Amino acid sequence: MMKQIQWFPGHMFKSLREIKERISLMDIVYVLLDARIPYSSMNPEILKIVGEKPTLLLFNKMDLCDRKNLAAWQKYYEDMGFYTLPINSQTGFNVDRIYSVSKEILKEKIERALKKGMKFKVVRGMILGIPNVGKSTLINKMVQKKVTVTGNKPGVTKAQQWIKINPEFELLDTPGVLWPKFDEERVGYSLSVTGAIKDDTLPIDKVVLYALNYIRDHYSRRLTERYEIKNPETLTDHEILDQIGHFRKAYVKGGELDYDRIYQIVLTDIRGKALGAMSFDESKL
């Protein structure tokens, strides 16, 4: 069983409160998800806050995900009433479409304002998401200059800040917000495998074994291609772990396997796409 996780510090409560206070001022809300884990990276607290507000789900890191899996999750969320757009904040793929898609979503609201003789000068949006999902990188790409601090560790953004994307488009950047506890064990593991939470939050051995179990069941060929493991679907997670160690010659003095090193090898290969594009949330379709 997963241990009790103490990872919901005071600044997250504060961030949630500020989001609730400001959301009524927004024309549209953007929720940035990790395309590899479209379910696990959706904070249920954010869903409650968003309510009926027009919402565009941005599936980031799409180059790292299984496209078939992503398409299924897009349909799942679209059936719930959300708008969706896959993006890559690093390369800029589809980033330039965010504003035009937003204007289309808000078309009726803009037309109503114009009929009343009001000017709809600026689209104001709030961007939400869990830590380390790429919000700051995305905003910098949208503005085409560095206006926010970025990093590959969770929790880089510490406070809300308004960003002017263009004269007609403003974004309120918010700190990444997690939720107090998980109802599903797999969500915690998926967040850990992809680096959304700090590596010391959950036992690294359990995280890696969870990942290997999932890869064996869904992408077994990748284990053969990367580590020359024959018939990985017939092996246990521990047997796969040992074979990776021998293949990569991860030994300590005396010739025994260095499991700490093997854990890091596996996580680095997953996060760096050395095992290819994969998704860790099974689709509901």
Residue from 101, 108, 110, 97 nearest 56 by CA: 101
Half-sphere exposure of residue 182, counting CA atoms within 13 Å on the CB side?
23
Q: Which tokens hold the place of 176?
A: 């990444």
Domains and CATH numbers, the chain: 10-173 (3.40.50.300), 203-271 (1.10.1580.10)
What residue ranges of the chain have pLDDT lower than 50? 1, 3-4, 6, 149-157
Laid out side by side, the sheet with 161-166 consists of: 83-86, 55-60, 28-34, 123-129, 169-173, 161-166
Residue 10 confidence (pLDDT): 57
Residue 182 confidence (pLDDT): 72
pTM listed for this prediction: 0.89
Residue 285 confidence (pLDDT): 54
* Distance, CA of 132 to CA of 82 (rounded, Å): 22
Residue 9 confidence (pLDDT): 55
